Amino acid sequence: MNVESLYQDIILDHYKHPRGRQLIEAAAGESHQVNPTCGDEVTVHVAPDGGGHLRVGYEGQGCSISQASASVMSEMLTGTSPAHADEVRAGFVDLMHSKGAAEPDEDLLGDGIAFVGVAKYPARIKCALLPWMALQDAQAKAGIAGGQDAAPQGPDEGMARS
């Protein structure tokens, strides 16, 4: 099995068996993001867990890439500090803007490395980044440290927030 095939299997597994796919009751922050180009939608909820760590939940609909990306994000970031979540988010954004040429950091990105091939296709980058932009916006709205350092930036023009 080659690496690209393995990465495709990871994406399909997260799409078919999503992790963290439910909204959080009494969320501290919420963001609904839409990719008007293809119709992908995701709502991300964040809340502190009482110990300074994040709880991340989501609901959405759309292509396998956007929904698998949300699953990977939720699984990786639930239980981590907001600062670590920002580091992972920045690493994922950098990976998506690498045009597939980056050597992904598995220690930082976990299953997120599976999206390195997606970065070769500009139209699909928006799909992969959609939940990550929603996370950044939800953290900022919640006032959770780390989500406030910059205004949320969509992965490309054409993203709509609601």
pLDDT tens figures, 83-141? 999 999 999 999 999 998 888 899 999 999 999 999 999 989 999 999 999 999 999 99
Is 18 a domain residue? yes
* Full domain range(s) for residue 120: 3-157
Answer yes or no: are the C-beta atoms of 84 and 98 closer than 8 Å: no
Does the residue 162 lie in any domain? no
- Work out the average pLDDT over 133-157: 70
**pTM for this predicted structure:** 0.87
> pLDDT band at residue 146, thresholds of 50, 70 and 90?
low
| Cα–Cα distance for residue pair 115/84, rounded to 1 Å | 19
Q: What is the CATH number of the domain that holds 54?
A: 3.90.1010.10
What type of residue sits at position 101?
A
User: Residue 98: inside a domain, yes or no?
Assistant: yes
In the block, tokens 């920002």 appear at 86
Q: What is the DSSP string of 42-108?
A: EEEEEEE-SSS-EEEEEEEES-HHHHHHHHHHHHHHTTS-HHHHHHHHHHHHHHHTTTT-S---HHH
Does residue 95 form part of some domain?
yes
